[in-house]
Amino acid sequence: MTLGMTADVESVARELRERGEAFAFATILRTVGATAAKPGAKAVLGADGMILHGWLGGGCTRGAVKAAVLRALDEGRPQLVSVAPEEVLSDLGVSPGDELDGRRYARNGCPSKGAIEIFVEPCLPVPELVVLGGSPVAQALAALAPQFHWQVRGTVPDETRGPGQRIVVIATQGQADLDALKSALAQPFDHVAFVGSRRKFAALAATLKKDGIDPARVDAVRAPAGLDIGAVTPEEIALSILAELVHVRRRRAPS
């Protein structure tokens, strides 16, 4: 069992994963002076930044941790927060909200005057890939994607989306292309890709704009889908598309 993580924290995290909800772990790495919680203390926090289970000390760090959780879930990358008295921040030459060398600073206004460093790790739901169409490329992509930890669906979901990534690939290849594009563009997908030539999509794009679809959304569609690897077979085309989707998935990750 990880240091500082109780069985209850583990069970809460497991339940959140099973429900497909975003959450975060926060772990105290270092303390200086008087602090309520000590290094190794851990908590699991919901998508709203509130502690669901665990212990990170009193209210002096609560605002900074909440902000770090929201930022971590939005950016999809861990956060390191240093909460310290104003005079300590002044000596370091930083102000509350500044980020330096991967560490974001916040002010501790509590009388204890302690300092604390907290590591926040986001836990996002498995990204969702909607593959529209029954073409050989669609079938190959739907078979390959789960091996790279994508949750694959064959229809555009109606429910309100959560914080996880949601991507759609339209591989109808001549079978109701326009309807599939309209369905995809009606939802707030992070990335929309179309399997087909540039010339074919240009004709479809003109019709979409004429039918009142937001031109900016139409122009953002990636067509043709996939990286140019000289793919020929449906399996190779699916591989090129998946390679591009991995790039889209990881592009916000820290270098």
Determine the average pLDDT of the residues in 59-83. Answer: 90
Sheet containing 103-107, strands listed edge to edge, beginning at the edge strand earlier in sequence:
51-54, 42-46, 23-32, 115-123, 79-84, 103-107, 99-100
Determine the average pLDDT of the residues in 241-250. Answer: 91
Residues 156 and 206 reside in one and the same domain: yes
Q: Are strands 191-194 and 166-170 parallel, antiparallel or unpaired?
A: parallel
Residues 208 and 152 reside in one and the same domain: yes
Whether the pLDDT of residue 67 is over 70: the answer is: yes
Residues 224 and 133 reside in one and the same domain: yes
Last residue of a domain, one of 76, 91, 123: 123
User: Helix-strand-coil percent breakdown of the chain, rounded to 5?
Assistant: 35, 25, 40
pLDDT value of position 2: 42
Residues 229 and 155 reside in one and the same domain: yes
Burial 141-157 (b: 16+ CB within 10 A, else e): bbebbeeeebeeeeebe
pLDDT value of position 58: 77
Tens digits of residue pLDDT in 19-48: 888 999 999 999 988 888 889 999 999 999
Tokens standing for 106?
């916040």
CA angle 221, 223, 227 (to 5 degrees): 115
pLDDT value of position 5: 52
Last residue of a domain, one of 85, 100, 123: 123
Where does residue 138 fall: left (phi above 0), alpha (psi -120 to 50 degrees), or beta otherwise?
alpha
Distances (CA, A) of 204 to 76, 169, 177: 34, 15, 8
Q: What is the count of structural domains for the chain? A: 2
Asked if 93 contacts 9 with a C-beta cutoff of 8 angstroms, the reply is: no
Tens digits of residue pLDDT in 98-123: 998 889 999 987 777 888 999 999 99
Q: Domain residues for 108?
A: 7-123
Tokens standing for 161?
């989306």
Residues 181 and 198 reside in one and the same domain: yes
Residues 82 and 165 reside in one and the same domain: no
Whether the model pTM is above 0.95: no
Last residue of a domain, one of 90, 123, 156: 123
Identify the helix (H) or strand (E) that includes residue 52: strand 51-54
pLDDT value of position 109: 79
Residues 115 and 157 reside in one and the same domain: no
Residues 112 and 219 reside in one and the same domain: no
Residues 136 and 166 reside in one and the same domain: yes
Q: What band does 253 get if pLDDT is binned at 50, 70 and 90?
A: very low
Residues 77 and 42 reside in one and the same domain: yes
Residues 114 and 66 reside in one and the same domain: yes
In a domain, 62, yes or no: yes
